[in-house]
Structure 1
């Protein structure tokens, strides 16, 4: 009895699946040479390979402005790839004209306020002088009244003597009418009455004058104190100071209508990397410009946290990328200068679709360190390397960390069937002895 076609198909499919499973098991039992090259063996350090990016040593500077503003114009030298001096003007915003007029108006207002303050202060000072003169005048009047009081005392004494003379003459006349005539007695009585009236009149006038002089002195003293208080108030509370503060605020708003390159006068020039906003366009949350100092370039590698035990400061690395010029096709030498302490998610994307994406990484800072026989050759090579990196800011590269124990690495490679001649070295690799991290760090410290 022939078997059904469906049964034959199922049997054939099962056989094919079994063969495929055996093949996969065989592949897993025998690791590839490339995997061994990355992981190494348990007897020596592993070769760590990570992704990195090229960036300026000082980072990329984002220059922003207030959102909603509009770019009026850029300075002539502000072009992508062009250099600008630190602190130089980069762009002018559309609000610059209006804010400049506000500053001009406040400058005139401040000038008028200062003149008004000076005029009011001068008037208050004049009042002080006038009050001082009034005090002096009242004081002199009181002194004159005091001198008149001495005269009043003399008049009182004269009136008393005249009255006594009249009384004696009247007594003599009563004793001997022929000795004192009536006419002589009346004359003496008139003189005594005139002396009393003069004394009484002077006394009354001096009393009124003294009262008036005392009031005048008190008024003059109060006026002087008030005038001095006005002068002090005008000195302490300067109305023009309010206008000056308004002027400073307006001047700062004018500065916000201009974009300047960061840095001081003697700082290195910056290179314009990218312009995000063109003249006439409104500013959004994005930066207006991005600039950087490209005189020193570094590489920031993202190393998996599990590989940190294989990384040390001063350790040599090789940086490679297919975007490099042919002179650097075999890679660029560098050394680890700093290992970060913060663990985070990777920012660089691995182009291998099978690479794990859920790993945490640590940023490792790498400086270029080409190896040459003489210092002059090294400097020339470093200039060329920096120029190459500066032309590719943000380029994603591959970073290979050379194991500290290089002899162990070579023995591992020989154990995998490779000869020493097959071990590739970058074009700028040194011909000297294997890497010794502690020795290299001591050399750097000595320099």
Structure 2
């Protein structure tokens, strides 16, 4: 019975299980297809979004920065040598805008004549040393000895003459000082007497004025007379002090000059006497000493020539005179005498932000523009600076960062652009660098 029931149950379920399996399989395939479509669609949308994003972002092709124009090698300030500090410019040989060549004299300093005389004196000393060396090598001769004795006699006579002349100068200054002092003292005594009389007269008139015997104007005139003589007396006393100080100073300077003349003359006589002793006998040591003296004179002449050369201020390079800081008659300025620049080749020094400088390479083309220039200037990156520094050229836009860190990029302008920019050194420009 049980078997019959089971058999019936199996017979009942068997025919109906097949559609269920087919339905389940169809449902699975449909779900898989739907999921696959959604995945494909999401991938397509992501790809489209990526393409749209890439298309929306512009590609950077230029770097823009501010800069300034300057000549090749920057602007040079030509000044006097350090040994000539405090000198004045005697003659200025150039004007603003003049073109100069390397080594061309642009100014002559006021110590030229003094240095020229020193150089001539040094040359004369060389000739004297050469003559003395030749004498030593030739040996002692009676004629040479007599000539040297005559030289000593001449120097001694010159010494006496110079001393007498300077002593006369001292005596003249002392007499002049004494005479002017005496005259001024007499003037003071005269004014003191006049003042005394004026004061007595004033006191008398003061009493008369108090008694009502004279007018106000008569009283005031006496008082004015006292004040006038008092002032004259003060001026005379001041002049006396001035005369005394000036006279003493002049006499002191004259006596100092006399002492210097005596010392110089004694030195010359001593040197001539020593030379006379030396020519009496030819010895190797004498020849060596004469040669050393000649070498010293030659060295002094070279030094004097070098000093004279420094009185002529020369241009260190070819270029154009931009500015003149010191003119004829003026002491050399701290800014030098002139400014020179090589305008035949102009540059633009561009301040590129440190974040953009890695995009800049030598040889890249650059367009330069400014409101002061007609059209654009063309150039190419020549070289890139080696340090990051603070921005010097500031944009007028208040929203811009005024404390940026930049690197200087040096742009060489082509020949037509250099000609246009030659007169615009330090002009602020805008540069566009093609990457």
Name the TM-score, length of structure 2 as normaliser.
0.51
Give the drift of 1:309. 2.6
Instruction: Tell me which of the two structures has the higher relative contact order, counting C-alpha pairs closer than 8 angstroms and 6 or more residues apart.
Output: 2
Once residues 56 and 307 of structure 2 are traced to their aligned partners in structure 1, the CA distance between those partners, rounded to angstroms, is: 65
Give the drift of 1:321. 0.1
Q: How does 1:92-103 map to 2 (within 5 A)?
A: 92-103=108-119
Q: Which of 300, 308, 313 in structure 2 is aligned with 1:254? A: 308
Q: Is 2:246 aligned against 1:230?
A: no
Q: Is 2:409 aligned against 1:364?
A: yes
Question: Which position in structure 1 is the counterpart of 2:127?
Answer: 111
Q: How does 1:180-199 map to 2 (within 5 A)?
A: none
Q: How does 1:25-424 map to 2 (within 5 A)?
A: 44-45=59-60, 47-65=62-80, 66-75=84-93, 78-123=94-139, 229-230=284-285, 233-234=288-289, 237-263=291-317, 269-325=318-374, 328=375, 331-369=376-414, 382-383=415-416, 385-402=417-434, 404=435
Once residues 115 and 296 of structure 2 are traced to their aligned partners in structure 1, the CA distance between those partners, rounded to angstroms, is: 18
Task: Indicate the SS of the match to 2:64.
Answer: strand
Change (3 A) 1:85 1:309: closer
CA deviation profile, 1:324-372 (whole Å, cap 9, x unmatched): 02xx1xx222221212221122232333333222222111111235xxx
Once residues 64 and 316 of structure 1 are traced to their aligned partners in structure 2, the CA distance between those partners, rounded to angstroms, is: 37
Once residues 286 and 391 of structure 1 are traced to their aligned partners in structure 2, the CA distance between those partners, rounded to angstroms, is: 21
Contact (CA 8 Å) 1:305, 1:362: kept in 2 or not?
yes
Contact (CA 8 Å) 2:109, 2:311: kept in 1 or not?
yes
Give the drift of 1:232. 5.8
Give the drift of 1:42. 5.5
Task: Indicate the SS of the match to 2:302.
Answer: helix
Once residues 278 and 232 of structure 1 are traced to their aligned partners in structure 2, the CA distance between those partners, rounded to angstroms, is: 51
CA deviation profile, 1:353-405 (whole Å, cap 9, x unmatched): 33222222111111235xxxxxxxxxxxx43x221110211211011123x3x
Task: Indicate the SS of the match to 2:392.
Answer: coil
Once residues 329 and 399 of structure 2 are traced to their aligned partners in structure 1, the CA distance between those partners, rounded to angstroms, is: 46
Give the drift of 1:101. 1.0
Contact (CA 8 Å) 1:93, 1:257: kept in 2 or not?
yes
Contact (CA 8 Å) 1:80, 1:272: kept in 2 or not?
yes
Task: Indicate the SS of the match to 1:110.
Answer: helix
Q: Specify every segment of 5 or more residues in structure 1 that has no aligned partner in the other structure, as ranges.
A: 1-39, 127-225, 264-268, 370-381, 405-447
Task: Indicate the SS of the match to 2:429.
Answer: strand
Task: Indicate the SS of the match to 2:361.
Answer: coil
Give the drift of 1:243. 1.5
Change (3 A) 1:232 1:281: closer
Give the drift of 1:81. 0.6
Change (3 A) 1:310 1:125: farther
Task: Indicate the SS of the match to 2:67.
Answer: strand
Task: Indicate the SS of the match to 1:60.
Answer: strand
Change (3 A) 1:341 1:68: same
Task: Indicate the SS of the match to 1:121.
Answer: helix
Contact (CA 8 Å) 1:124, 1:228: kept in 2 or not?
no
Contact (CA 8 Å) 1:46, 1:310: kept in 2 or not?
no
Once residues 44 and 274 of structure 1 are traced to their aligned partners in structure 2, the CA distance between those partners, rounded to angstroms, is: 45
Once residues 229 and 45 of structure 1 are traced to their aligned partners in structure 2, the CA distance between those partners, rounded to angstroms, is: 86
Once residues 141 and 286 of structure 2 are traced to their aligned partners in structure 1, the CA distance between those partners, rounded to angstroms, is: 6
Once residues 301 and 41 of structure 1 are traced to their aligned partners in structure 2, the CA distance between those partners, rounded to angstroms, is: 30
Change (3 A) 1:228 1:252: same
Q: Specify every segment of 5 or more residues in structure 2 that has no aligned partner in the other structure, as ranges.
A: 1-54, 143-280
Name the TM-score, length of structure 1 as normaliser.
0.50
Give the drift of 1:112. 1.0
Give the drift of 1:302. 0.9
